[in-house]
Amino acid sequence: MKKSIKILIAIAMLASCVPLRAQIIGIESPIASKNLFIGFKAGVTAMDVAYTMKNNNKTTDQFVNHSILYQHLDSLQILSCLTTGITIERTLPNFSYGLELTVSGLNARQNKADSTFHFATQDSAFFLHARVPVRLYFLQKEKVSPYVFLAPDFSTYAYVPINDELTINGQSVWNEYQIKWGNKNARAFHLNVVAGAGMVVKINVGDYQMWGRFEAAYNLGLLNTVKGTATDYNVTRKMRGWEATIGLSFPLFKNPSYSWMM
């Protein structure tokens, strides 16, 4: 009889420890592992513009106008160095894919220390992006989960005629003349590839969980953005640069067994 009582007490003590043990080792999460996240992100972007010029004698001039974030801080226009947007992410165990719709700025100028004459000395524009990131997560059950990602990026420069005196439009300075990008001088759509790394910090609020996110990535333009009459100059212009963003995502589906485990 005494032996049976001891066994029953041991079973009761073990059962009472299961919820605590489950939370400690991270078996259960407040949210489902297969989930849909809606969120937003914002950060800093530093886009450069790389040129290749072929002269009449077939010689080639290659140069890069760097983001004003690296230089020209006295004339820094903060909007041209920012990126922001909304994110949708479908998560699976150790893997996710999604869609990001963002707006970013570009303002690249010739370095003040570069005294060489270059055909192009400045480019500025705002871009609308549709990006499809694929992420590979590590330590996904931990409080902090690092990951790497790769994403194709489809973008177009923004043209917004506000009034006769104010129009948002891409512009460049070529041979000391200011030109508007327009359909005659620039392709409407661009294709980039973005690769980078980041980390997710899981923020528990009661029986709910949000994801704070930090990402750093390199954005490489694949296509020549110049077309039409501008190609008469035998010029190739491609964009490339870095970005760093922070964001916050909200899962739509909770873990139905988490409340029971509590």
User: pTM for the whole thing?
Assistant: 0.78
Q: What is the mean pLDDT of the chain?
A: 81
Summarised one tens digit per residue, pLDDT across range 33-78 is 888 999 999 999 999 999 887 766 566 778 888 888 877 665 556 6
Instruction: Report the b/e string of 122-156 with b at 16+ CB within 10 A.
Output: bbbbbbebebebebebeebeeeebebebebebebe
CB distance 193 to 153 below 8 Å = yes
CB distance 156 to 190 below 8 Å = yes
171 forms bridges with which residues in the sheet? 124, 180
Q: Which of 28, 71, 10 is CA-nearest to residue 261?
A: 28
Q: How confident is the model at residue 183 (pLDDT cuts 50, 70, 90)?
A: low
Q: Which of 8, 26, 29 is CA-nearest to residue 257?
A: 29
- Whether 138 has a pLDDT exceeding 50, the answer reads yes
Q: According to the model, what pLDDT value does residue 59 have?
A: 62
Most confident stretch, 48-57, 77-86, 99-108, 227-236? 99-108
Domains for the chain: give ranges and CATH numbers. Answer: 31-261 (2.40.160.20)
C-alpha angle 233-235-241 in degrees, rounded to nearest 5:
150
Q: How confident is the model at residue 22 (pLDDT cuts 50, 70, 90)?
A: very low
Indicate if the alpha-carbon torsion angle 154, 156, 162, 165 is positive or negative: positive
CB distance 249 to 89 below 8 Å = yes
Q: How confident is the model at residue 172 (pLDDT cuts 50, 70, 90)?
A: confident
